Amino acid sequence: MKEINIFIENQSENTTSLINQMKKHFNPKEVNKLGPNCLVLKEGVFVDWKYLLELIQLNAGKNLKFNFLESYLENGIELVRYIDSGISYFFETDAAEVELPIVKYEQEITKQNPVLFLDRDGIINVDHGYVHIFSEIDIFDDMIEVIKAANHLSIPVVITTNQAGIARGLYTHKEVDLFHRELKSYLLERGAHIDHIEISPFHEKSGNPPWNRESLLRKPNPGMHLKGWARVQGTVAGSLMLGDKESDRISISGLETYLIDDGYKIESGENVFDSRTQLCSESVRYLNKMLDFS
């Protein structure tokens, strides 16, 4: 049996309570061993993303650090699993597809490093619906200025984009990657730098296998954001998300969300703006305040 460890580093009273919480979420038969600072799970046992959300809510106001493991050792060989498939890997063998848990939770981090998250379609470029071919004329100049403001303040910029068009077979990962290469270099030529991009290729109802499943990575679930924070060593408190749909509201306390009401039936409320000018100026204002959280 292959063992999979979920480490909880820097044991403290809080960690003990987290381990107890964690135990509730696994069938005791499946928790193979409970070490002083790690759970050892049997292969094929998953960390429930709903549990992760609970963990985050339980620790509201603290900055938890999650690492999403994208490789692991098997017989001394490092195996890298596909892509960013979320809370479980797809592991293609000759025989079958095996899924492995990939999340590693570390203790609270104390140095604040808030992040600017951007939805892509409708925020950085015009949303024509299932956009997958890059076009310079579709890029919003005003958002370039917001990105530059974040860069100037050394605030990492992460794009989180649902790309169900992959699940639906409308375009491929390769095409999305090419789009993002072109987008990044277009922005760079204008002095704006993107630190990281996360995509979610899933759609539970309308997707083709293997993407027809509920995923932590599909907004409004928080997987892409968790991975983004892990990737840029960011922290939750003070981070800002800009979007144009209700699904861009990610339910993690500490993450602020600004939405533009652009025809996607956004429920009115705080921080919903009618115009891009307003969205962008308020975002820059927020970025300038952001570092006060640290």
Positions marked catalytic = 119, 121
In the structure encoding, which two tokens stand for residue 221, read together? 């679930």
H or E element, residue 103: strand 103-106
CB of 101 to Mg ion, least distance (A): 30
Q: Which is nearer to Mg ion, 221 or 235 (CB)?
A: 221
DSSP codes of every residue in 30-97: TEEEE-SSEEEEETT----HHHHHHHHHHTTTS--EEEE--EEEETTEEEE-SS--TTB--EE-SS-E
At residue 280, the 3 state secondary structure works out as helix
198 near Mg ion, rule: CB under 5 A = no
Give the one residue of 99, 195, 198, 244 binding Mg ion; rule: CB under 5 A: 244
Please list the alpha-helical segments (H only) found in 87-222. Answer: 141-152, 164-167, 173-189
d(CA 244, CA 205): 22
The candidate with the shortest Cα–Cα distance to 73, out of 126, 122, 4, is 4
CB of 275 to Mg ion, least distance (A): 16
Only one of the segments 69-77, 119-127, 271-279, 281-289 lies at the binding site for Mg ion (rule: CB under 5 A); that segment is: 119-127
Query: What does each C-alpha distance from 222 to 41, 119, 168, 279, 291 come to in angstroms?
Result: 23, 13, 22, 22, 23
Give the one residue of 101, 122, 165, 254 binding Mg ion; rule: CB under 5 A: 122
119 near Mg ion, rule: CB under 5 A = yes
Which residue lies nearest Mg ion, judged by its C-beta? 122
In the structure encoding, which two tokens stand for residue 50, read together? 């709903």
Q: Long-range contacts: 12-15, Cβ < 8 Å, 24+?
A: 12/107, 14/59, 14/107, 14/108, 15/107
Q: Which is nearer to Mg ion, 103 or 260 (CB)?
A: 260
Q: Which is nearer to Mg ion, 63 or 163 (CB)?
A: 163
CB of 105 to Mg ion, least distance (A): 29
CB of 248 to Mg ion, least distance (A): 7
Only one of the segments 63-71, 114-122, 148-156, 223-231 lies at the binding site for Mg ion (rule: CB under 5 A); that segment is: 114-122
Q: Which is nearer to Mg ion, 122 or 254 (CB)?
A: 122
121 near Mg ion, rule: CB under 5 A = yes
> What is the x/- site pattern for Mg ion, positions 34-53, by CB under 5 A?
--------------------
CB of 176 to Mg ion, least distance (A): 15
- Name the site residues for Mg ion (rule: CB under 5 A): 119, 121-122, 244
